[in-house]
Amino acid sequence: MVRMRRRLVLLLLLLGLTVLSPLALYTSRLSVALNSIPRVFPGEITNQGRGVEADKLNALPLETVSSLKEPVDIVFSEELTESKSQELRLPKVGAHKSRVLSEVTVADDGTSSKDNEVIEQVITLEAQDGGLVKGAGVSDEQEKNIGSLQQSSSEESSQDTMPKQTPAKVVAENSQSARTDGKTKTAVLPDMRIRNIKDQLIKAKVYLGLGSIRASSQYLKDLRQRIREVQKVLGDASKDSDLPKNAHEKVKALEQMLIKGKQMQDDCSIIVKKLRAMLHSAEEQLHAHKKQTVFLTQLAAKTLPKGLHCLPLRLANEYFSLDPVRQQFPNQQNLINPKLYHYALFSDNILATAVVVNSTVLNAKHPSDHVIHIVTDKLNYAPMRMWFLSNPPGKATIEVQNIEEFTWLNDSYSPVLKHLGSQSMIDYYFGTNRANSDSNLKYRNPKYLSILNHLRFYLPEIYPKLDKMVFLDDDIVVKKDLAGLWSINMKGKVNGAVETCGESFHRYDRYLNFSNPVITKSFDPHACVWAFGMNVFDLAEWRRQNITEIYHSWQKLNEDRSLWKLGTLPPGLVTFWNKTFPLSRSWHVLGLGYNPHVNSRDIEHAAVIHYNGNMKPWLEIGLPKFRSYWSKYLDYDQSFLRECNINP
């Protein structure tokens, strides 16, 4: 009986503790909170700025900004707009320059791990230590990244000046808005796990070279094993979704090894030196790879693909099996009709010529009014004719001529033809014992020795009965009707072309030798350069001003290549000096053969797009994002293309 009473009393005591104690504690804290509120009238409370003391607006104490954890998946966006990136500059000479190896290292639960944080801003390079300056091994992309890191650091420092007591809810909301608002300067970077793994590998490789860690053979062996495991699971993955399921375990094991290594080596100066050496080595490797890329690109640009070698052979065989009557083109009476729209195209590339012709005719409002004159070499004459006989350009008129039939174009008439055939010129472009200053591979491009490349300077002689023509390169695509070019008033000028001096390097001093007094006294080094590729030529004015003779006189002066070295643009610049009428930029958009950042809006509004550069659309090295503009004008089901295995 006594035992039952004791149990009852114990139960009552426990009930009192569990029910009454929380009520008492809540009452006590409520009174303290109410007493902490200053006695002010409601009307005295106004909208407060950021500088107001937080305890006047909050009943409970708030955690400070320094105690809040930065959202780990919010980092400064590297995708700056072009205009913004131009505003960001490197510090002046003598200023400190820092490089950040990594963003925040993210733990598995999504928080920033203190043990796994990477070393940021560890390399402070003075200008005298080889600080980075543009033009000394730093690419435009590196400059953008450095600029973005500098701006990110400035934003972090500005956040440190904010009041230390800021509601956590407000900070969280600001972080969330940074995630969703595309106009803010911060954004969620995708594939953070990939970035984190790569950063961990960099850190591990740093540890491998530290003396104190190398002294522990067992740790060194284990660390190398963990690095191999992580590299294996990383493989060629470029997205987080590509990682295998066991990636988390391997990365976690590496992180544990790095924590242990951090305890063994705590001298930051040694790590800084090691990172600086790794960075220097990486820059040297990057420079070497860039040189190799340029070499291989130049080599690929001059290489004839197997399909383009097969195509003329197939076409020639078919052409010579035709009856002579079937080898003729229709509507030949239109070739000398000055009231029609005439185009000149000089090329030995059948596939490229087909795209130019097809795009011109398909985008013409009245195809029957357009006449396309093609001149090719002896080797490609029969294949070129056969292609357009089997693939006629609709209602347009086509002409294919052989340059060998221009008997008037000989050494005695043309100085450039004499120069191109000379042994000194052949040795200059293709000789192996040339000076190092001329070792650039672009000098060995066969087009510089092809008369087809210089034939544009003889348009009045080739077409004596025509008064106006549009010249087209074989690496262009026509996207709109070009009939409007014939109605442009060129105001007595001979050449109508689009100027390209939006870039600083498209000036006369980049193409001509202004150390030569003949050039210096004749031209302005800062004059605007224009583009060959889509040009309107007033042949009547050409004949009146005797432009061909001007061209010949400059070619004679440049016999020793002291005025310019290569190409047709430099002689064009001197020949048509003060004789060029600037066309609207929408007529001709350039750069699709070397610049992947050509504005898509400019391409859509352009009448002609030009694949100038080495990355031609018919080569494998062509830029994939621009290839569809070109390939849409070819029928890959055509029998000759199928037989030669030419695919889009």
Distances (CA, A) of 642 to 353, 380, 563: 18, 20, 47
3-state helix, strand, coil in the chain (%, to 5): 50, 10, 40
Question: 164, 159, 180, 233: which is closest to 74 by C-alpha?
Answer: 180
Least confident of 144-153, 324-333, 413-422, 444-453: 144-153
**Given the structure tokens 């960075």, which residue do they identify?**
279
Instruction: Identify the CA nearest to 637 among candidates 646, 624, 626.
Output: 646
Q: How confident is the model at residue 118, as a pLDDT?
A: 37
pLDDT tops 50 at residue 115: no
Q: Is the pLDDT of residue 67 over 50?
A: no
Give the type of residue at 492: G
Q: Which of the four pLDDT bands, split at 50, 70 and 90, describes residue 294?
A: confident
CATH superfamily of 306-644: Spore Coat Polysaccharide Biosynthesis Protein SpsA; Chain A (3.90.550.10)
Task: In whole angstroms, give the CA distance from residue 272 to residue 119.
Answer: 9
- Band of pLDDT at residue 312, cut at 50, 70 and 90: very high
What average pLDDT does the segment 589-609 reach? Answer: 94
Residue 560: which pLDDT band, with cuts at 50, 70 and 90?
Answer: confident
- The 10s digit of each residue's pLDDT in 226-244 is 888 888 888 877 777 878 8
- Residue 429: the pLDDT is 66
Please give the C-alpha separations between residue 85 and each of 96, 99, 180, 527, in angstroms, as whole numbers: 20, 17, 22, 27
CB 104 within 8 A of CB 72: yes
* Pair of tokens at residue 545: 């001003």
Cα separation, 495 vs 290, whole angstroms: 38
Of 318, 391, 308, nearest to 357 by C-alpha is 391
pLDDT, position 441: 61
User: Which is more confident, 511 or 449?
Assistant: 511
> Which letter, b or e, does each residue of 551-560 get, where b requires 16 or more Cβ atoms within 10 Å of its Cβ?
bbebbeebee
Express as a percent the part of the chain with pLDDT over 70.
69
Question: Which tokens belong to 30?
Answer: 């409520």
Q: Element (H or E) spanning 25, and its range?
A: helix 2-36
Most trustworthy range by pLDDT among 4-13, 79-88, 303-312, 577-586: 577-586
Lowest mean pLDDT among 34-48, 118-132, 362-376: 118-132
Kindly indicate the confidence band of residue 30, based on its pLDDT and cuts at 50, 70 and 90: low
Q: What is the mean pLDDT of residues 180-195?
A: 60
Is the four-CA dihedral 92, 94, 95, 97 of positive or negative sign? positive
pLDDT value of residue 444: 65
Contact criterion met (CB below 8 Å) for 529 and 567: no
Mean pLDDT across 471-478 = 96
pLDDT at 100: 38
Q: Which residue type is seen at 518?
A: V
Partners of 188 in the β-ladder: 74
On the question of pLDDT at 375 being above 60, the answer is yes
In the predicted model, what is the mean pLDDT of residues 278-298?
85
**Region 7-34: what's the mean pLDDT?**
67
3-state secondary structure 103-159: CCCECCCCCECCCCCCCCCCEEECHHHCCCCCCCCCCHHHHHHHHHHHHHHHHHHHH
Give the list of residues 6+ apart from residue 384 with CB closer than 8 angstroms, or none. Answer: 315, 350, 353, 374, 376, 400
pLDDT in the model for residue 343: 98
pLDDT at 183: 45
Q: At what angle do helices 306-319 and 378-390 cross, to 10 degrees?
A: 80
Q: For 502-531, b where at least 16 C-beta lie within 10 A, e where not — what string?
A: eeeebbbbebbbeeeeebeeebeeebebbb
C-alpha Rg value of the chain to the nearest Å? 36
For residues 628-638, give the mean pLDDT. Answer: 94
**360 pLDDT higher than 70:** yes
Q: What pLDDT is attached to residue 173?
A: 46
Task: Say whether pTM exceeds 0.75.
Answer: no
Q: How many helices (H) and strands (E) does the chain have?
A: 22, 14
Give the strands of the sheet with 495-497, arranged side by side: 397-402, 370-376, 341-346, 468-472, 534-538, 495-497, 580-582
Using alpha carbons only, what angle is made at residue 512 by residues 536 and 417, rounded to the nearest 5 degrees?
A: 65
Mean pLDDT, residues 31-44 taken together:
48
Which residue has better confidence, 20 or 530?
530
How far are the Cα atoms of 16, 420, 510 from residue 439, in angstroms, in the given order? 96, 19, 18
Residues 50-64, mean pLDDT to the nearest whole number:
42
Each residue's pLDDT tens digit, 440-468 = 566 666 677 788 999 999 999 999 999 99
Alpha-carbon dihedral sign for residues 461, 554, 493, 481 = positive
Burial class of residue 270 (count of CB atoms within 10 Å of its CB; 0-12, 13-18, 19+): middle
Residue 308, pLDDT > 70, answer yes
Looking at residue 425, its pLDDT comes to: 72
Residue 606's pLDDT band, with cuts at 50, 70 and 90, is: very high
Q: Where does residue 529 fall: left (phi above 0), alpha (psi -120 to 50 degrees), or beta otherwise? A: beta
Return the percentage of the chain with pLDDT > 90, whole number.
43
> Nearest Cα to 200, choosing from 126, 325, 113?
113
What residue spans define the domains of the chain? Answer: 191-301, 306-644
SS3 labels along 515-572: CCHHHHCCCCCCCECECCCEEEEEHHHHHHHCHHHHHHHHHHHCCCCCCCCCCCHHHH
Asked whether residue 28 carries a pLDDT value surpassing 70, the answer given is no
Task: Say if CB 459 and CB 542 are below 8 A apart.
Answer: yes
Q: Is the pLDDT of residue 645 over 90?
A: yes
| pLDDT per position as a tens digit, 146-168 | 444 344 444 444 444 344 444 44
